[in-house]
A = this chain, B = another copy of it.
């Protein structure tokens, strides 16, 4: 007889306690990208390790050269072997003054009638999402004393900074990590009522460029009119990244990008997402995407280029009449299809260099390069998970493309030959990477119930 009803009832009864556990984890400021938070980041890893150990996992912190990986095993001979991936590091919180509540003191509050959320950095991305899975394990173990699958859990601390050490770790520990299927909980739903399985993810190239003109900062009154200004040089190059149709101009950039099929276009048209609807929620009206392409195509299946940060010269209060020596920008590209991240990184650098006068130089820092991935939409595992999600939410779970990047899914495929099932419960208004990140309690609670169901069907 199925133990599922008992497991689901236990999750219902345990919701407040599970929220308290999530809060405790969010309170640890694991900003993995900032060395000042290294001790906290490790503390967040240790918190999860101890929790998994308490559930009967053989759980350890494994060193990577950067932030440690939480690795846990609970083996069940003869059962399908599943690898769950998540991350415990969170994005930086600046600008801090825009947060209504302290990013590391989570609050549960009602933001609309009947709609409660938990706030905080990592509330969704990815601590809240990881805990939907862990809570499903806790309830399943409490009710049945066992799991339906053999399970390996890997939760890293460098996802927000490009997972620099993860591919090496996966490669070095391939035997230990290889499973029949990977599960990742770091994606979103279609909307608050409609669950989704993400079947494709964009890849990413992230580069930092610094332009140097004079060998020192200059007085604009003495040298202005003659000395090159790196801010103008950098702005002039950034202005050339896209043409007037929104198309990215770096040579070869679109190599490997496939045109959508008519059936894909029809699906997008059916979903009927308008610019006013999608951009209205963030105070904008018009898409700046490629002309002649549907909004859903722009955000899900086309590659992008965004300058994520820029700085140079005097940025304090008041004035300084300086011509800076240097100006810098962080530039990222979301990749799709078969775009080659290493070719694009090289083409980007060449694009910049070709636009420099001969006494002006550019230096680059590579922050990561990963290809896009697509998972088969008709695999038995995906169909089982889809049915379980549909059962839980009372609405058909749909398969979607995501604009985001989860490079590890590509690594699992290329290094371990393993497909990934991407199920997550984030919402578009969760403000991940922004001030006032939150996670809906409906996502957290029904997410736990969804995983309990998926574990049962994957083990069957």
Q: Which of A46-54, A112-120, A294-302, A341-349 contacts B (4 or more CB under 8 A)?
A: A294-302
Determine whether A175 belongs to the interface, using a CB cutoff of 8 Å to chain B.
no
The CA of A220 and the CA of B287, in the complex, are separated in Å by 14
Partner of A206, one of B285, B289, B312, B319: B319
Q: 8 Å CB contacts to B: which residues of A270-320?
A: 275, 278-279, 282-290, 295, 298-299, 302-304, 306-320
A39 proximal to B (CB < 8 A): no
Would you give the shortest CB distance from A100 to chain B, in whole angstroms?
Answer: 12
Specify which chain B residues have a CB less than 8 angstroms from the CB of A334 in the assembled complex.
Answer: 220-221, 224-225
CB distance from A341 to the nearest CB of B (A): 14
Residues of B within 8 A of A450 (CB): none
**Inter-subunit contact A359/B286 (CB<8 Å):** yes
In this assembly, does A171 line the interface, its C-beta being within 8 Å of a C-beta of chain B?
Answer: no
Instruction: A403 to B266: give the CA distance in the assembly, Å.
Output: 62
Docked CA distance A140–B218 (Å):
36
Interface membership of A232, Cβ < 8 A: yes
Does chain B have a CB within 8 A of A367? yes
Q: From residue 177 to 219 of chain A, which have CB atoms closer than 8 A to chain B?
A: 188, 202, 204, 206, 213-219
Look across to chain B and name the residue whose beta carbon is closest to the beta carbon of A357: B286
Binds B, one of A7-15, A68-76, A233-241, A411-419: A233-241
Q: Is residue A80 within 8 Å, beta carbon to beta carbon, of the partner chain? A: no
Nearest chain-B residue to A326 (Cβ)?
A: B95
Q: Which residues A391-408 have CB closer than 8 A to chain B?
A: 402-405
| Any B CB within 8 A of the CB of A23 | no
| A275–B319 touching, CB < 8 Å | no
Give residues 155-184 of A contacting B (CB, 8 Å): 160-162
Among A35, A229, A314, the most chain B Cβ lie within 10 Å of the Cβ of A314
Interface members, chain A 362-412 (any B CB < 8 Å): 367-368, 402-405
User: Which one of A146-154, A250-258, A429-437 is at the interface?
Assistant: A429-437
Answer whether A228 and B316 are a contact pair too, CB < 8 Å, given A220-B304, A221-B403.
no
Q: Are B226 and A299 in contact (CB under 8 A)?
A: yes
Q: A236: which B residues are within 8 A, CB to CB?
A: 235, 238-239
> A: which residues have CB within 8 A of B?
33-35, 91-92, 94-95, 98, 160-162, 188, 202, 204, 206, 213-229, 231-232, 234-236, 238-242, 275, 278-279, 282-290, 295, 298-299, 302-304, 306-324, 327-330, 332, 334, 357-360, 367-368, 402-405, 428, 431-436
The 7 closest A-B pairs by CB, nearest first: A221-B404, A215-B283, A239-B239, A309-B313, A33-B318, A235-B238, A235-B235
A-B contact pairs, 16 of them (CB 8 A): A33-B316, A33-B318, A34-B318, A94-B316, A204-B321, A220-B308, A222-B428, A225-B403, A226-B288, A226-B298, A238-B239, A288-B357, A308-B313, A309-B320, A311-B312, A322-B434
- Given A160-B320, A224-B304, A308-B322, 5 more A-B residue pairs with CB atoms under 8 Å apart are A215-B283, A223-B282, A224-B306, A227-B284, A308-B320
